[in-house]
Structure 1
Amino acid sequence: MNKTRSRILQSLASGVNRFNDLSISSALLKNTLTVLNYHRIDNPQTSGFNTLKANVSATPFEFERQMQYLKKTFNIINCQQLVDYITKDIPLPPRSAMVTFDDGYFDNYSQAYPILRELNIPAVIFLATDYIGTNQPFYWDYIAYCFSHTKLNHAHLSVVGERTWSNENEKNIVLHEWIETLKKIQEKEKQIAINSIATALSVSVPEDAFKGLHLNWQQVREMHKNGIEFGAHTASHPILTRIPLHQAQDEIISSKLKIEKEINAPVISFAYPNGGVADFSPNIMQMISQAGISIAFSLLPGPTFYKTVKKEPFSIRRVFLIHTDTFERFVLKINGISRLAEAIGR
């Protein structure tokens, strides 16, 4: 079955590539914006990788291959060009694409940045500013570390109750079930649950367990000087609809101001933590606009027509990428056939 799926994907991707070479492609696809969403660029299969593997968007090898394809088949723009289109009606090139990263991991600097610079591809990195220059992990990486190091085969987990597993695959299912459950509850309740996980799994987490996981401000400034843009992604990465509105406003503004202070440049873009349909609201979008931010990105699936981007600049769609995507599925996703790619299955 997997071989059959692989052949189908390869055939579809090959068809898309041939279609892109035809003049009809320009007529049908020229007025769409394709925003790629990455998180980490790393190899989750390497020895000692004990943070959340699902947060790895591509290996360095695959990322370079993806960027080469993107540059060949799309016109890659930056945030300022998009804002100029929305606010000044300055036309975008046909088949525009953007490269974005969420959170602010170190591998954005060590792995992605050299490739982007070599290929002269602009990108924007959305920073959760409380983590930049610190050893503090995101909660999903902390949870993944605890699951990676536990010797137990069962545990009573806050919110969901008793769970058991007999192998790594089953343990991974429990891990992801718990993380997804935590995303649906209020922030205070989530923090209480997170604080209980090490004890529940009988794991001791060293203070330096996550050293070097995130960018520092010196790296941010270096990349900014060389053409990488930076946007706000809140300060502490809460899902904004799970906290009071005044707290959400503080998260948005403090993140923006911190980045502006560090890079000495205005921040014009924002990405919603988690980015699902329930993770932002009209009130949140209004706060972002009032903070002086011009565009905001969700994780609702793209691509998007230009006219929709102009009409809805605070809910711009993106194409979510993960390291388990084959190159064929990547091609399908960024050419707007993601639903078909998902239907074929991973």
Structure 2
Amino acid sequence: MSLKAKAKKLFFVLADVFGLIEKRWRNLEPGVYIFNYHRIGESQKTLFDRAIFSCDAASFEKQVVDIKNNFTLITTKELAELYEKNQSFDKRYALITFDDGYIDNYTDAFPILKKHQINATFFLTTNFVDSNTIPWWDQVAFILRHAIGKKYQVPGTDKLFKLANHDIDRTIRQIMFYIKQSKAFSTSEMLADIKQRFPSANDLLNQQHPNLFLNWTMAKEMHDNGMTIGSHTLNHFILAQLNEAGQREEIERSKTLIEERLNTTIETIAYPVGRHYCFNDTSVEIVKNCNYKIGFSNEPGINQFTHCRYKLYRYSVATSSVKELRYDIGL
């Protein structure tokens, strides 16, 4: 466990002992709280990126019930209507969202949401739907996990990582951070470098044919049962690493594809990765010009009516504990 993780754990224990978590939770200010998930399941069973798992199914059910009991749940359409009023928010509103379109969103999360009559928005990376694609981050994690004992230097930096079994998950997260924020190299170039450095692990990767993402039939069923579908671009490229034409292709074409497949109007988009360095003013202008009404980042925070509707904050869920989720939001 890293020093930062140990410190967070200590602060959590102290806040719990002194009742600060419950006190803060009861007194959350009005605003829009958006809880973002990625994968639902048991992370230790995957050969790919474990950090992309938000929690297991049982924990997810407890969390969404807690959210439903403590917030006024709204849809993205209702959120857009709130912003059009241009008035202070007088309640604690909440949305539940999912990025990427992994198949467990359909098999694990969707039944729970239906059971509790909760709407969620699922942002689909359209070229992943109905495919056996292994996205770049899952490829990176797989290769590094199968290169134990070796070293890797991130291109364009002096960062040299030893790939050791006891902390491989943390090392993968650190390398991912440098890949995502790189200005000199795209994710495709970084992935190509990793494949070239570790050919044996890449050979093992080429033997994998997982079914990671949902298909259009599943997406339609979810949409027909009250779930909202949004865009997560065509290929999940980091938009800030693309030129204007490349960004437009990713943003515009994904919207068109979903609308054609589901016979609906797509009004929301979540920027891939979503941190402030992963999209830019060009991204936002294209989103506006493509007639999206809402754009979501992955920066944490509470949304107020004065906040730009094309850069909305979301809390990325990465815990199985309801109390830890409350701590992450409230403190």
Within 5 Å, which residues of 2 pair with 1:190-205?
A: 190-201=187-198, 202-203=200-201, 204-205=203-204
In the TM superposition, residue 37 of structure 1 has moved relative to its aligned partner by: 1.0
Q: Which residue of 2 aligns with 1:227?
A: 226
Question: How many correspondences in the alignment?
Answer: 323
Q: Which residue of 1 aligns with 2:327?
A: 332
Within 5 Å, which residues of 2 pair with 1:92-131?
A: 94-131=91-128
Within 5 Å, which residues of 2 pair with 1:167-186?
A: 167-186=164-183
Whole-Å separation in 1 of the counterparts to 2:220 and 2:206: 27
Whole-Å separation in 2 of the counterparts to 1:297 and 1:166: 34
In the TM superposition, residue 288 of structure 1 has moved relative to its aligned partner by: 0.4
Classify 1:95/1:205 alpha carbon distance in 2 versus 1 (closer, same or farther; 3 Å): same
Whole-Å separation in 2 of the counterparts to 1:262 and 1:290: 22
**Is the contact made by 2:101 and 2:129 (CA closer than 8 Å) also made in structure 1?**
yes
- Which segments of 5 or more consecutive residues in structure 2 lack a partner in the other structure? 1-5
Which range moved further: 193-202 or 284-293? Answer: 193-202
Query: Counterpart amino acid of 1:17?
Result: E
Whole-Å separation in 1 of the counterparts to 2:92 and 2:159: 49
In the TM superposition, residue 328 of structure 1 has moved relative to its aligned partner by: 2.0
Whole-Å separation in 1 of the counterparts to 2:296 and 2:162: 37
**Is the contact made by 2:156 and 2:184 (CA closer than 8 Å) also made in structure 1?**
no
Which range moved further: 127-136 or 173-182? Answer: 173-182
Classify 1:20/1:185 alpha carbon distance in 2 versus 1 (closer, same or farther; 3 Å): closer
**Taking structure 2 as the reference length, what is the TM-score of the superposition?**
0.88
Deviations 1:74-106 (A, max 9, x none): 111101111112225699772100000111111
Give SS of 2:297's match.
strand
Give SS of 1:246's match.
helix
Which range moved further: 276-285 or 129-138? Answer: 276-285
Which range moved further: 325-334 or 83-92? Answer: 83-92
Which range moved further: 168-177 or 49-58? Answer: 168-177
In the TM superposition, residue 138 of structure 1 has moved relative to its aligned partner by: 1.2
The answer to whether the aligner puts 1:79 opposite 2:76 as a matched pair is: yes
- Which segments of 5 or more consecutive residues in structure 1 lack a partner in the other structure? 338-346
Which range moved further: 187-196 or 285-294? Answer: 187-196
Which range moved further: 56-65 or 172-181? Answer: 172-181
Deviations 1:114-153 (A, max 9, x none): 1111111110011111111111111110111112223543
Whole-Å separation in 1 of the counterparts to 2:274 and 2:163: 33
In the TM superposition, residue 279 of structure 1 has moved relative to its aligned partner by: 2.1
* Among candidates 310, 313, 334, match of residue 309 of structure 2: 313
**Is the contact made by 2:295 and 2:310 (CA closer than 8 Å) also made in structure 1?**
yes
Whole-Å separation in 2 of the counterparts to 1:146 and 1:19: 42
Whole-Å separation in 2 of the counterparts to 1:281 and 1:162: 26
Classify 1:187/1:55 alpha carbon distance in 2 versus 1 (closer, same or farther; 3 Å): farther
**Is the contact made by 1:253 and 1:291 (CA closer than 8 Å) also made in structure 2?**
yes
**Is the contact made by 1:43 and 1:58 (CA closer than 8 Å) also made in structure 2?**
yes
The answer to whether the aligner puts 1:8 opposite 2:14 as a matched pair is: yes
Whole-Å separation in 2 of the counterparts to 1:117 and 1:173: 35
**Is the contact made by 1:186 and 1:243 (CA closer than 8 Å) also made in structure 2?**
no
Classify 1:233/1:187 alpha carbon distance in 2 versus 1 (closer, same or farther; 3 Å): farther
Give SS of 2:181's match.
coil
Classify 1:50/1:75 alpha carbon distance in 2 versus 1 (closer, same or farther; 3 Å): same
Give SS of 1:175's match.
helix
Whole-Å separation in 2 of the counterparts to 1:229 and 1:163: 43
Deviations 1:1-32 (A, max 9, x none): 788545324246x54435655xxx4xx62x31
**Is the contact made by 1:156 and 1:200 (CA closer than 8 Å) also made in structure 2?**
no
**Is the contact made by 1:9 and 1:329 (CA closer than 8 Å) also made in structure 2?**
no
In the TM superposition, residue 189 of structure 1 has moved relative to its aligned partner by: 4.2
Whole-Å separation in 2 of the counterparts to 1:194 and 1:127: 22
Give SS of 2:44's match.
coil
Query: Counterpart amino acid of 1:251?
Result: E
**Is the contact made by 1:187 and 1:238 (CA closer than 8 Å) also made in structure 2?**
no
Classify 1:158/1:121 alpha carbon distance in 2 versus 1 (closer, same or farther; 3 Å): same
Give SS of 1:270's match.
strand
Query: Counterpart amino acid of 1:279?
Result: C
**Is the contact made by 2:149 and 2:163 (CA closer than 8 Å) also made in structure 1?**
no
Whole-Å separation in 1 of the counterparts to 2:76 and 2:252: 19
Which range moved further: 150-159 or 295-304? Answer: 150-159
Whole-Å separation in 1 of the counterparts to 2:10 and 2:81: 45
**Is the contact made by 1:82 and 1:92 (CA closer than 8 Å) also made in structure 2?**
no
In the TM superposition, residue 275 of structure 1 has moved relative to its aligned partner by: 1.2
Whole-Å separation in 1 of the counterparts to 2:301 and 2:252: 27
Whole-Å separation in 1 of the counterparts to 2:259 and 2:166: 43
Q: Which residue of 1 aligns with 2:141?
A: 144
Whole-Å separation in 1 of the counterparts to 2:191 and 2:137: 9
Classify 1:9/1:285 alpha carbon distance in 2 versus 1 (closer, same or farther; 3 Å): same
Q: Which residue of 1 aligns with 2:22?
A: 17
